[in-house]
Amino acid sequence: MPKKNKPEIVLKGIPAASGIAIGTAFLMDQQDFIVPERAIFDDEILVELARFEEAISRTKDEIIKIKEKITAQGGVKDAQIFDAHLLVLEDVMLIEDVEKRIRSEKQSAESVFSRVLKRYAQVFAKIQDDYIKERSADIEDVGRRILKHLMGETRTHDFDQLAGDVIIVAHDISPSDAVTMFDKKIMGFVTDVGGRTAHTAIIAKSLGVPAVLGLKDATLRISNQDQIIVDGRKGVVIINPDEETTELYLKEKEKIAQYEGSVAQMPDAPNETQDGRRILLMANFEMDGEIPAVKKYRAEGIGLYRTEFFYMNRLDLPTEEEQYQAYKKIAEAMSPNPVVIRTLDLGGDKFISSIQLPKEMTPFLGSRAIRLCLEEQDIFKTQLRAILRASSHGNVGMMYPMIAGPGELRAANGILKGVKQRLREKNIPFNENMPVGVMIEVPAAAMTADLLAKECNFFSIGTNDLIQYTLAVDRGNEKMAQFYEPGHPAVLRLIRRTISAAHDANIKVSVCGEMASDPTLAIILLGLGLDSFSMSPSSIPVIKKAVRSIRFSDAQELARQALRLSTGQEVEEFMTSELTKLVPEFYHYHGRAA
């Protein structure tokens, strides 16, 4: 039930995963970090002391900015709580204690600071004084901020402590955090940052729960245990909803349930248009926890196996045998349907502690994906051996991410050729004819698709990155959300060019980005001649219903008309209007109107 002593507050963000959730907020950023012990050498002591000093400085800047923002919004009284936080950062006793222990214990700054923080918390917990307890809370809050700066993307959260179904509220959710969420009781996601293709959106769709991202200050406005409503269709979050609002959304949830029931009634119907055009509907996949969903929604294979998540939340690299067993398991589970394994796609916004990558000003344009694999060939070869060995246990294909042209493709295939030869010499079985494909994710690849098609077996268009690089828009930046237009004419023309080049070379082409799970865009892709779609498993029934509601010839005509339009907004409005005529009940689910 909504709390009656708090006013109802409505926040507007970016709709990232459809649906409605009504429940209790869980502020993820208030949870403890898992801090690994890390010994250091004598010559690293000054480095760790400098890191600790920098973390304090960055935390101070962060708190000052938050205080200034709240003050500017008229919350002078609320802003005063951060004065106490700033005092913590000037606590000489605390700072000197940490610095002394870094020198004497020869441990990393984060491991020493974490232990000191816990010791302070235990001392304060024994003191029966309200003022002291408040100071303890200040220290813990500031401590989490310092640890965040010390650890960056290596931090994870302990989701095993979740009690009951909750709605996760966080500043951001890293890929490492996302990995741990599949088997937890999560009803939805709310974040300060991110957009439609952020990892949080992808994980929400995999779990089949709503998400609203890019809210800017949700973690400041929402408290633990607040009752909130998340409307992933419209990008709305309601804090402390009153009874009337709650009742309204309960009715909307019922409409969504009815729609989901209608699409669930056709699981075994063929994935084809009304005039017989057959389309392959496959699933994007990350880990074992998704296998039940892949089976439940009748995916016809795995169109994208994101292997980098297998490398996360660990201090070492996965061995060849570990990877082989993982790939073999999904290959056997899906056989005879295809499983397309993407080689390691690290860098950009995905990092692991076992590879120390240098800080880059523009990481999405730096050492990532195939570039990183060509640099770190030992890691690349280990994965290639595991994939090749798994290819003897099912219908396995493999594709390279972020290929920019034939040069990189030839370099990767050269390494693959050498790995194959060594497996032959050791009489280790693998599929000699395993299909090898290329992901089309940058404009350079789309513009040279005719050349690439001569040297690979298939294409998979990664629309999330293709849109980002084509439109020069950071897809994880909520401030740029208005410029992230999947239906932009430039994007559609690059996709058309890619599909045409693939078919001219008699190879198949798929889409594995988030465009595949949006019916308004999926129908355009269908009309452009796409052979298969790969998406979050829970999105398959919705796309299936859209595909079965139209003739392929009509989809072709809609695509032709869409390509004549000038902006992404015009394309979306046009397709929304057309699809409302075909599947009117769908828009209860997505919250759109013609």
Domain spans of the chain? 9-31+157-249, 42-154, 277-519+528-538
The least confident of 102-106, 136-140, 495-499, 504-508 is: 136-140
Which CATH number is associated with domain 42-154? Answer: 1.10.274.10
Please tell me the predicted confidence (pLDDT) of residue 532: 97
More confident residue, 589 or 256: 256
The C-alpha atoms of residue 193 and residue 198 are separated, in whole angstroms, by: 9
Most confidently predicted of 227-236, 300-309, 414-423? 414-423
Please tell me the predicted confidence (pLDDT) of residue 353: 42
Residues 420-444, mean pLDDT to the nearest whole number: 97
- Asked whether 489 and 565 are in contact (CB, 8 A), the reply is yes
Please tell me the predicted confidence (pLDDT) of residue 580: 81
> Quick one: which H or E segment has residue 519?
helix 519-527
Please tell me the predicted confidence (pLDDT) of residue 76: 54
In 401-552, where do the E strands start and end? 436-440, 458-461, 508-511, 532-535
pLDDT classification of 69: cutoffs 50, 70, 90: low
pLDDT tens-digit series, residues 337-352: 999 999 998 764 444 4
Say yes or no: do domains 42-154 and 277-519+528-538 share a fold. no
Q: Per the residue annotation, which of 149, 373, 512, 590 is the catalytic one?
A: 512
In 171-250, where do the E strands start and end? 186-191, 211-213, 227-231, 236-239
pLDDT classification of 460: cutoffs 50, 70, 90: very high
Please tell me the predicted confidence (pLDDT) of residue 360: 47
Residues 395-399, mean pLDDT to the nearest whole number: 98
- Using CB atoms within 10 Å of the CB of residue 246, give its burial: 0 to 12 exposed, 13 to 18 middle, 19+ buried: middle
Is-catalytic flag, 199?
A: yes
Please tell me the predicted confidence (pLDDT) of residue 156: 47
**Predicted model pTM:** 0.68
The C-alpha atoms of residue 246 and residue 248 are separated, in whole angstroms, by: 5
The C-alpha atoms of residue 587 and residue 581 are separated, in whole angstroms, by: 11
What values do phi and psi take at 174, rounded to 5?
-75, 160
Percent above pLDDT 70 for the chain: 80
- Asked whether 399 and 438 are in contact (CB, 8 A), the reply is yes
pLDDT at 131 over 90: no
- Asked whether 223 and 240 are in contact (CB, 8 A), the reply is no
In 3D space, the residue among 373, 341, 342 whose CA is nearest the CA of residue 357 turns out to be 373
Is-catalytic flag, 512?
A: yes
Say which DSSP state 185 is in: -
Please tell me the predicted confidence (pLDDT) of residue 570: 94
The C-alpha atoms of residue 10 and residue 3 are separated, in whole angstroms, by: 15
pLDDT tens-digit series, residues 185-205: 789 999 888 777 776 777 787
pLDDT tens-digit series, residues 15-47: 888 889 999 998 875 555 567 778 898 888 999
The C-alpha atoms of residue 264 and residue 281 are separated, in whole angstroms, by: 15
Which string of b and e fits 470-497 if b means at least 16 CB within 10 Å? bbebbbbbbebbeebbbbbbebbebbbb
Please tell me the predicted confidence (pLDDT) of residue 204: 80
Report the SS3 class of residue 155.
coil
- Asked whether 475 and 199 are in contact (CB, 8 A), the reply is no
Q: Per the residue annotation, which of 199, 393, 488, 590 is the catalytic one?
A: 199
277-519+528-538 classified as CATH 3.30.930.10: no
Average pLDDT score over the chain: 84
> Quick one: which H or E segment has residue 505?
none
Report the SS3 class of residue 439.
strand
More confident residue, 50 or 593: 50
Most confidently predicted of 119-133, 254-268, 381-395, 480-494? 381-395
DSSP states of 523-560 as a string?
Answer: HHHHHTT--EEEE-GGGHHHHHHHHHTS-HHHHHHHHH
Please tell me the predicted confidence (pLDDT) of residue 302: 97
pLDDT tens-digit series, residues 155-186: 445 555 565 678 999 887 765 566 566 556 78
Alpha helices in 215-368 (DSSP H): 218-221, 243-264, 291-296, 320-334
pLDDT at 409 over 80: yes
Architecture of the domain defined by 9-31+157-249: 3-Layer(bba) Sandwich (3.50)
pLDDT at 368 over 60: yes
More confident residue, 478 or 576: 576
pLDDT at 123 over 90: no
- Asked whether 390 and 375 are in contact (CB, 8 A), the reply is no
